[in-house]
Structure 1
Amino acid sequence: MFNRYADALDHRDWNLLEGLFTEDVTTDWFGAYQVSGRAEVIAYISELIGRTARTHHLLGNYTADIHGDTAEASVRVRAYHVGDGERAHLFEESLAGFEASVVRTAEGWRFSRFDERLYVMLGTQEVFGLNDAALA
């Protein structure tokens, strides 16, 4: 699922992204941005990623603790984001971890909680039109 998430972002495939979350998903990016509900999460992500010219997400070190129809899973992430338009000279690179709760539904496995923990950030969140002070 994490790979499909990265593909959805890097290819701007919002239909693929929508199919990864439960209706009542909760999210937390860096402890600074919380969004709940599938429609709201898709809108938030697509708007943020839409402010960039390109993204590249590289994933590794997967873990999963599966208990029947639920699981706790994580993966390490290196994500690179290039600015667009007047922000084309900017970049942001995150060394982070995705941590998620996953549930098996009639349609397959879905994220019911999706969090990103930031370990290192290079560049600036201004790539997304955000202020770096939110992470301080």
Structure 2
Amino acid sequence: MVDADALLQSLVADRDIREGLARFARVIDAKDWAALDTVFAADLTFDYGLGERSGIAALSETMRMFLDGCGPTQHLIGSISITTDGSGAESRAYVQARHQRRDDPTGDVFDSNGEYTDRWEHRAQGWRIVRRDVRWQTHSGDRAILSASFD
């Protein structure tokens, strides 16, 4: 017999986590660093391929290091898989991130493709990512577009 309450909770968690991933893409593309806490827990740990770091301030610093110097970006998130358990949830999602050079709307781009593996917990503010691991699979285009952030 199906536990209707458990099924409903699982479906709501699935919807909320998918919304959280979509919100992340919009937050990062808007470079709205102050809104990272609408997706991530303050005490998160993460690894974007540069080693493990902790805290929302460190996440903001990492995002800004790569994205403040480039122009518009578009993060497309798809092929989402979510598994809920008694203590939270795990999502896996593919990401395609396109980065454009600042002040050159028809110029070169830099694309990164990979996968986010996120651990989610339900907090007072709602579902938040408490752990993110990123595995980059391919990069193409002009990497210097991101390097502009380091000038």
| Length-normalised TM-score, structure 2 | 0.75
Larger Rg: 2
* Contact 2:45–2:52 under 8 Å retained in 1: yes
Using the TM superposition, give the Cα deviation of residue 85 of structure 1 relative to its aligned residue in structure 2, in angstroms.
5.8
Q: 1:106 is matched by which residue type in structure 2?
A: A
Instruction: Report the equivalent of 1:19.
Output: 38
2:35 aligned counterpart, secondary structure:
helix
Using the TM superposition, give the Cα deviation of residue 124 of structure 1 relative to its aligned residue in structure 2, in angstroms.
3.9
Using the TM superposition, give the Cα deviation of residue 90 of structure 1 relative to its aligned residue in structure 2, in angstroms.
4.7
* 1:96 and 2:125 are equivalent in the alignment: no
More strand by share: 1
Q: 1:43 is matched by which residue type in structure 2?
A: E
* Contact 1:4–1:16 under 8 Å retained in 2: no
More helix by share: 2
Q: How many residues align?
A: 128
* 1:50 and 2:95 are equivalent in the alignment: no
RMSD of equivalent CA atoms: 2.1
Runs of 4+ in 1 over 6 A off after TM superposition: none
Q: List per-residue Cα deviations over 1:47-87 (Å, max 9, x = no partner).
A: 4211111101111110111013411111111110012269x
| Length-normalised TM-score, structure 1 | 0.82
Provide structure 2 residue ranges, at least 5 long, that are not aligned to the other structure: 1-19
Provide structure 1 residue ranges, at least 5 long, that are not aligned to the other structure: 131-136
Instruction: Report the equivalent of 1:77.
Output: 95
* Contact 2:36–2:56 under 8 Å retained in 1: no
Distance in structure 1 (CA, Å) of the matches to 2:108 and 2:76: 20
2:24 aligned counterpart, secondary structure:
helix
* Contact 1:64–1:73 under 8 Å retained in 2: yes
Equivalent residue for 2:136, pick from 94, 107, 118 = 118
Q: 1:113 is matched by which residue type in structure 2?
A: R
* Contact 1:18–1:42 under 8 Å retained in 2: no
* Contact 1:90–1:126 under 8 Å retained in 2: no
